[in-house]
Structure 1
Amino acid sequence: MATSNKAAELKAKKSMSSSVGAPSQRSQSTRKGKRAWRKNIDIDEVEAGLEELRTEERVTGSTLQKKTNDELFVIDVKGDDQVRKSLPKFSTSLLSSAKILAQRSAVPALQSRTTSSSLKRKTLTHEEKDRLLRMGKRVRKGPFNAVIDPTEVGAGSAMLEMSEAVKSSGQYDMWNRNGSEEITPEWETISSKPKKVKAPTLPNPRSFIEVSAVPSPHEGTSYNPPVSAHQDLLRTAHEIEERRVKEAEEMAKTKEKMEKARRVAVAEDVLGFAPGMTVQEVEGDDTIVDGTEEVMPTKKIPERKTKQERRKAEKLRAEKRALAEKLANKRLLASVNAAKSLRKAVGKTSAARERLRSEQQEKVMQEKLKKGLAGQRLGKHLVPEGNVDVQLGDDLSESLRALKPEGNLFKDRFLSMQHRALVEPRVPVIPRRGNKLKEYEKHAWKRFDREQ
């Protein structure tokens, strides 16, 4: 029984193979001689370690022991924004067959022969070629295929190179005050690309308007209104119409003044001088009234001062001037020490005043916008206020049967949208006809009077 177990173990040891694929022989038929011992040494751990190093070299190009810490580790301080985009999706590249084919060694392949890319020939310049010929004392040919004598000065084996002065010739500008730096013209520094202008962030007036889409009408617009409400509405319509008439009169006066100025300019061009410069001749003398000659008041001429008085006045003026200068210098010296504090105080007060003014303006504008944009300028044009629909006392109908419809719903809706800043104000554009209509009078109608 023991012999059979030993045979089974021996058979299992003989069939055992290495992890790397090479056959291994663990069982020994004999232990005679050193060759048998050397042949059956167990080196599986060494082979596994070497195989790991080869795998690392194939994947990374070299072993991990030879790489620095910067190549192996990265400190991530920002994070990856593309994690969601890089999540695995179905792709043919994620198949096992594609992964096996994509595994390529990082070690460059061996080349059996030299190629044009592996050999990079260095092109020699004419000067380098001459220098090498001089060093090798080879025959050199000059112009017209003539052999240059190596015993000449500068033509032998001596390595004569160009001096720094010759190499840098033509680069120094003696008129440049800044030294060797070249002055770049201003037009080269200006970029041709236009700068992007940021759009200002302004509040939308629509957010402050509290006008309803369909405002409630005035009480005086009813078909049977109260007397006080009707009179109030009539008064409002009268004020609006009076203001329009006044504006029209002012516009007419302005146009008349402009026309008058244009006529005066034309008259100046014709006459050569302004029309108002003509002087009428006085026929009679207006100085004599009722036989008595009118006496014109004479202006008192001041007496001439003496030299002593002039010197005294000049001395007094000089003393006043000196006192004023002294006072001004004193104030200036006192303000120099407090200049910084004064500047800060003035800056704070001006900033506070400007902030208060802007807040007040914004508050007033918001209060105006609450009632809508009626009568305010938005862009090029004014937002129209709209007409007041009111009937006179004689036109009022006391019953719904006799009521006549007035106004235009479309116009009212459009004005409401303009007041709520939904539609910009526009001026109605009347289309012009390209061809004028020609009227012809028929021959029969020409003799209408005669036939009668």
Structure 2
Amino acid sequence: MTSVPAAKRKRVAMNRKKAWRKYSNIQDVEDFLEEQRQQLRTGGLASEKSNEALFFEDKTAHRKGQKKSASKSTKPRGPIQHKVDLRIRPHPRVPPIPKALPRQERRKSSRVLQIQAQERKGIYSENKQKRLDEAKQQRTLATGNRKREKELLDERKATFDLWDCDMVKKIKKSGIEADEHFLRQTKKTPAKLPPRYQDKPSKFPAVEIIAPGASYNPSLEDHQDLVNATYEIELKKQKAEEKLDRWHKIPKLSAKQAQATYIDEMSAGLFHDDENQKGDAEDVEGEKGLLPNPPTTFENRKTKKRKRKERALKEKEKEMKAEKRLKIRQNEVYRLRSIAKEMEKEKADAAIEREKRLQREKEREKIPKSLGHHKLEEEPMVIKLSDELVGSLRQLKPEGNLLRDRYKSLQKRNIIESRVWKRGGKAKYKEYEKKSHKEITS
């Protein structure tokens, strides 16, 4: 019989944590910990228990060599107990879990018992009655919604014969005669769009027609009207600039005057004159003579009798004001006609205000909206002066920029926000001569 050679022990360097985790044998430690956990589950650690808890004296044991007498009355054997079933049986050394005591109900106060008795009779408080009414209203709405949904479902159900051709609606679309369902599924019928799908963001036309005076060969009246309109626009701009200049106008001073003013401003408050000192002394004396509350003397002090009279006067005045308000409220019953007239007047004023608001909204539609941080700047009107007019298209010089005109039109129609249009300049290239080329040419 040949002996099997023993496996060669693998030599591993154990000076790294990686080798410890991979090649260390910790099975004995895991067995020890598992045994400790088993002891804790079954009554506690054996090392901490006393000898009486671990061992017991068997007093029924027979002496050595003595045979046990066989009993004639043998008890019937019970069902066979398997070892697997022992694991689910309660352990004799593990105490059972204590049963939770029933929670004692708190004794209700007399006020709570009184409220419950009133609620049994159908008498509820104001807040609870309000909540009950709201809950009832919600239940009614929910019932109505469910009923309405059920009716809609019933309407959607097919209540006609599917194979009856006369019940199917026939539609003729682009030379095809078929039912509505077939055309919808084959994308022959257009989808139903939202009601405001076709609404444009602005009422401005995409292409604005310029004034007739801007033509290459306009009439005299049209050209003069355009010149006058342009003049008015330029005059408004000039007035706005002049107003701004007046606000920011700085007086011109010579260098000597500016230096003197600077010295006076910087030295203000450093030196006191005699007159200022006298004025300050008088102010101090005047301030000392004034007190926030004058001293109370024996003659003008408030006694209890005087305070009681003032309190009675205040209460009487309060009662008189309340009676007056009550009389005014009672007299309003006799002025029902005037109240009706006032209500009619308020309705008429509200209708007028509504019309004005609608008119303002219509006018606001003609004004471009401010969608961004910048304000829309109108382009200057294209105009040719009288000496620049020509009668032939060959000699006409084009003005304006078509791309810029379309760009401003998009901003005016609220399609894009107002922006600052910056024209990008061409990059300046640096010219230099290569060293190698320079050496060759020289």
Please give the range of the TM-score, normalised by the shorter of the 2 chains.
Answer: 0.3 to 0.5
Structure 1 or 2: more helix by fraction: 2
Does 1 or 2 have the higher relative contact order (CA < 8 Å, sep 6+)? 2
TM-score of the superposed pair, with normalisation by structure 1: 0.33
TM-score of the superposed pair, with normalisation by structure 2: 0.34
Larger radius of gyration: 1
